[in-house]
Amino acid sequence: MAEAPWPITFDDVLAARERLRPHLQPTALRHYAALDQRVGGSIRVFVKHENHNPTGAFKARNGLAAVSALTPEERGRGVVAASAGNHGLGLAHAGRIFGVRVVVCVPTTANPEKVEAIRGLGADVVEHGQDYGDAVERAAKLAGEQGLTLVHSTECRAVLAGAGTITLEMLEQQPGLEAIVVSLGGGSQAVGAMTVVRGLGRSIPVYAVQAQGASVIHDSFRARRPLTAAAASVSTIADGLATRETYPLTFGALLDGLADFLVVSEAEIAEAVRILIATTHNLVEPSGAVPRDCCFIGRAPLDQGDTNRKRRPLSSRARIDISLGMIYRWTVELPDFEDDPELANDQILSSIYQEWFEEVNSV
Ligand SMILES: Cc1ncc(COP(=O)(O)O)c(C=O)c1O
């Protein structure tokens, strides 16, 4: 494959951060001893709480970065996007702040809670198709018909720059981070992370993780070329990662810069959600739990070296970051609890896990 130019500059990320600053607080980067214990190997894990953003995911950054970069004329006409939920929420949130009309195309399979939340933020919702790819086609059509600016969740430089602000914050909060692990849907978060690492002159490896049921970008990374035709459909509980193609803006950068790329099974994702509930007391959506999963099950970046040229073993004081998303208003039937608060806590966790497990098994 011909080498593509790097999609964004470090200055793009710095500029996005300035545009976001009045509208978004930095999120916490927390360390949980209990999570370290589960991960093992004396690894210190830091969790970047992107689930504490106003829309529950880092996509709040992407939406704000995109809308704040529009010209006054573009703002007047409005924007359209396709989304499984989080990108649409981020854009709707930004549209509300900047007074810009937002149309979000969602697949009919989208999480209804997220769709409702997008509407609640004042965006128009168009339900179309079976998956994210179908919704993208509809969004592109609407852009042409209505003169709206298409804000793709990956194929948009301002979006990538917005995602880069996560890593900028993380490295200010913990300059000694030795590895960054991100879940990957289209690659905004991964490319943003690599841009910042490079821009700061650091050599911190960035690892990406995808769900087995939607692994076309991982598979293409391994094949060193886009394998779009291989993914006629996708199936995963990590709805934010359910993409079925590679994207020209990010794929070359992923090939060039990722330390490694892993896939995790649905059961592993569910297990990661449970562990994050238990150790961080955060309800984490599957898309956000994916990276932690690869730490916990002891797969790379902790061990299992393969032929990838950029992989390097981590020292015992290595620190790894993951970013989280959040489950929306997920309702769980709770049983009657013991008086003992410790026991009650355990019961709550296990009943949440039970519900979750049933959901996973029904996929
Ligand atoms: C919570 C969460 N994590 C990760 C991703 C994947 O991000 P990217 O498209 O930047 O790879 C998404 C995408 O929607 C998401 O919602």
Q: What is the residue-wise DSSP string for 126-155?
A: EE-SSSHHHHHHHHHHHHHHHTPEE--SSS
Between the CA of 339 and the centroid of ligand 1 the distance, in Å, is 40
**Distances from the Cα of 306 to the Cα of 35, 312, 353, angstroms:** 26, 10, 34
- CA–CA dist 9, 251 (Å, integer): 16
- CA–CA dist 278, 51 (Å, integer): 16
Nearest-atom index, ligand 1, CA of 285: 1
Between the CA of 60 and the centroid of ligand 1 the distance, in Å, is 11
- CA–CA dist 45, 39 (Å, integer): 8
- Across the range 66-79, mean pLDDT stands at 98
Nearest-atom index, ligand 1, CA of 183: 4
* CA-derived radius of gyration, the chain: 19
Nearest-atom index, ligand 1, CA of 184: 11
Instruction: Output phi, psi for 315, to 5 deg.
Output: -75, 170
Amino acid at 229: A
* Three-class secondary structure of residue 120 per DSSP: helix
Instruction: Output phi, psi for 31, to 5 deg.
Output: -115, 135
27, HSE (Cβ side, Cα atoms, 13 Å)? 28
Tokens representing residue 176 in the block: 């000694």
* Three-class secondary structure of residue 119 per DSSP: helix
Cα 208 to chain centroid, rounded: 10
Q: Where are the alpha helices (H) located in the chain, listed in sequence order?
A: 10-20, 33-39, 59-68, 72-77, 86-98, 112-120, 132-146, 157-173, 188-199, 216-223, 248-257, 266-280, 286-296, 341-362
Instruction: Note whether 220 and 187 are within 8 A (CB).
Output: no
Between the CA of 324 and the centroid of ligand 1 the distance, in Å, is 9
Residue 308: the pLDDT is 37
Asked if residue 17 has pLDDT above 90, the reply is: yes
- What does pTM read for this prediction? 0.86
Between the CA of 153 and the centroid of ligand 1 the distance, in Å, is 9
Tokens representing residue 334 in the block: 């709770």
Amino acid at 240: G
Instruction: Note whether 219 and 248 are within 8 A (CB).
Output: no
Tokens representing residue 323 in the block: 């970013």
Residue that has been written with the tokens 């911190």 in this structure: 204
Residue 87: the pLDDT is 97
What tens digit of pLDDT does each residue of 307-353 get?
A: 333 333 334 344 455 555 444 434 444 455 555 555 555 555 566 65
When mean pLDDT is compared across 61-65, 166-170, 221-225, 306-310, the lowest value belongs to: 306-310
Asked if residue 98 has pLDDT above 80, the reply is: yes
Tokens representing residue 155 in the block: 């194929």
Asked if residue 57 has pLDDT above 90, the reply is: yes
* Three-class secondary structure of residue 30 per DSSP: strand
Between the CA of 315 and the centroid of ligand 1 the distance, in Å, is 28
Does 53 sit in the ligand 1 pocket, CB within 6 Å?
A: no
Nearest CA to ligand 1 atom 7: 185
Does 288 sit in the ligand 1 pocket, CB within 6 Å?
A: yes
- CA–CA dist 139, 103 (Å, integer): 8
Does 59 sit in the ligand 1 pocket, CB within 6 Å?
A: yes
Does 188 sit in the ligand 1 pocket, CB within 6 Å?
A: yes
Between the CA of 335 and the centroid of ligand 1 the distance, in Å, is 33
What tens digit of pLDDT does each residue of 160-192 get?
A: 999 999 999 999 999 999 899 999 999 999 999
8-state DSSP, 363: -
Percent of the chain with pLDDT over 90: 57
Strand order in the sheet with 260-264: 29-31, 44-48, 319-323, 179-183, 206-211, 260-264
Tokens representing residue 104 in the block: 């979000």
Nearest to 121 by CA among 95, 84, 142: 95
Nearest-atom index, ligand 1, CA of 51: 1
| 241, 246, 262, best to mutate for ligand 1 pocket (most atoms within 8 Å of CB) | 241
Average pLDDT of the chain, as a whole number:
84
Between the CA of 241 and the centroid of ligand 1 the distance, in Å, is 6
| 8, 58, 167, best to mutate for ligand 1 pocket (most atoms within 8 Å of CB) | 58
Between the CA of 210 and the centroid of ligand 1 the distance, in Å, is 10
Does 246 sit in the ligand 1 pocket, CB within 6 Å?
A: no
Does 287 sit in the ligand 1 pocket, CB within 6 Å?
A: yes
8-state DSSP, 179: E
Tokens representing residue 167 in the block: 């890593």
What tens digit of pLDDT does each residue of 116-131 get?
A: 999 999 999 999 998 8
C-beta neighbour count of 305 within 10 angstroms: 11
